[in-house]
Amino acid sequence: MTETAPLSETDERALMASIDRWLEKKVAPVAARLEQADEYPAELVADMCEMGLMGALIDPKYGGLGLPAVTYAKIVARISEEWMSLTGVFNSHLMMALIVQKFGTEAQKDHWLPLFATGALRGGVALTEPDAGTDLQAIRATARRVGDRYVINGAKMWITNAIEGDVLAVLAKTDPQAQPRHRGISLFIVQTREPAAGGDVQGVTRGRRLPKLGYRGVDTGEIAFSDCAVDADLALIGGEEGMGFVMATGGLELGRVNVAARGVGIARRALKEAVAYAQIRHTMGKPIAQHQAIQLKLGEMASKTRAAELLVEDAARAYDRGGRVDMEAGMAKWFATETAFEVATEAMRIHGAYGYSKEFPIERLYRDAPLLMIGEGTNEMQRIIIARQLIARNPV
C-alpha cells in the first residue's frame, strides 16, 4: 500500500464545512424520526452519493475523492455526532471498494471502481455467517469453478447493505479441504441486483432485515446464494484463489478505524449534551454542573473522549502511511468504542429520567454505542491483536 498524501488545511476545512451544512439542513431535522421508525434514509443516501462519500477513499483516476484516512475519520466522527447509522452505509461500501482497489486486477479496477465511486452500484462486505463471525475460517459458503464462471452457494447474515445494496464482496471456500483452512478461502465481487432492470440477479435471495437495538435505519440483513453464477475474471478478486482471508482481514483495518471514529462521534455528542444539560438543570438551588459528583463525571468523560480522538487520529495516520496497522487500529477501536459506551452511559445518568426519554438524543446514543464494541471484531479480540502485535514488534 502506498502512502496517501494529506489534504491541505484549507481544503479539509472546506470539506468539513460542507458536511456540517448538510448535517444541519438535511440530517438533523429527520434523524430522530427515521431512526425511531427504522426507516431506510434513501434521500440522505442519495445526498451522500452526490457529495462523493461513496468514493471518499477511491483513487481519483476511478472517479473517487482519494481522501486520506485522517480526513475520512473526521467525516465519520462528525456524521456520527448527528446520526451514526449513516456512516455504516458508506463504510461497508468503501471496505468492499478498497479491497478491489488494493488487490484487484486492472480489469476489475476499471470495471468496478468507477461504479463504486459514484454509488451507481452500492454494497458492502459479506463475511459473516450464522456460525462464522470472528472465526472467518469457519465459513460454509462455497464457490465452484465451472468453465469461465464461479457458482456460489451459501448464506450470509448481519450484512450491511444486504437488502438495499446492489453488490457484495462475498467470502467463500474454493477449496473446503485446504489446510490450513484460510488457504481455501477466496473473495468474490457478486452483483446482487441489476439497477437498470430493478430486480435481483438469478440465484440471489434476500432474507430478513434484522431488527436491532440501535444502528437503526441502515439495513442489516440476511442474503443467500443458490447456484449464483458470476464471471470468473470480474468476480474473483485478484484473479487467484486462496487469497480471500488475507484480503478480508486487511479490509477490516479500515473498518476498525471507521468504527473507532464512530465511537468518537458518539462520545463527543454525549459529552456535549451532558455539559449543556448540567448547566440548565438545577438541584438544591444551583446548576448540577456545580455539584462535585457531576464535575467528576464530566472531567473523566472529557478526558477519555479526547484520548479517543487522538488514538483514532494516530491509527488513521498509520493507515495513510501504508502497510498493516493491526495494532494501531485495534487500539483505536477498543478504546474509542469502550469510551463511547461509558460516556453515553454517564450522559444518561446526568440527564436522569430525561436521558431515558426519546425526546432527547441521549437514549439513541446509548443504544448505538454497544454495537461498536462488537462490530468489525469484538473488543476482546482487539486486545489480543494488540498484545500479539506488541510482542511481534518488540522481539527479545
CATH number of 246-393: 1.20.140.10
How many other C-beta atoms lie within 10 A of the C-beta of residue 114? 17
Dump pLDDT digits (tens) for 71-115: 999 999 999 999 999 999 999 999 999 999 999 999 999 999 999
- Can you name the CATH fold of 9-118? Butyryl-Coa Dehydrogenase, subunit A; domain 1 (1.10.540)
Spatial contact of 114 and 303, defined as CB atoms under 8 Å apart: no
Percent of the chain with pLDDT over 70: 99
Spatial contact of 41 and 23, defined as CB atoms under 8 Å apart: no
The pLDDT score that the predictor gives to residue 1 is 53
Mean pLDDT over residues 202-212, rounded?
A: 94
Helix axes 379-393, 326-351, angle to 10 degrees: 140
Q: How many CA atoms lie within 13 A of 216 on its CB side?
A: 18
Dump pLDDT digits (tens) for 142-200: 999 999 999 999 999 999 999 999 999 999 999 999 998 889 999 999 999 987 777 89
* Of 360, 159, 175, nearest in space to 269 by CA: 360
Q: Has residue 390 got a pLDDT over 90?
A: yes
Q: How far apart are CA 34 and CA 32, in angstroms?
A: 6
Measure the CA angle with vertex 94, ends 343 and 43; round to 5°: 80
The pLDDT score that the predictor gives to residue 323 is 79
Which has the higher per-residue pLDDT, 324 or 40?
A: 40
What residues are labeled active site? Answer: 376
Percent of the chain with pLDDT over 90: 90
The pLDDT score that the predictor gives to residue 3 is 79
Q: Which of 26-35, 80-89, 374-383 has the lowest mean pLDDT?
A: 374-383
Per-domain residue ranges of the chain: 9-118, 123-242, 246-393
Considering all CA atoms of the chain, what is the largest pairwise distance in Å, rounded to the nearest integer? 80
Spatial contact of 129 and 172, defined as CB atoms under 8 Å apart: no
Q: Which CATH superfamily is domain 123-242 in?
A: Butyryl-CoA Dehydrogenase, subunit A, domain 2 (2.40.110.10)
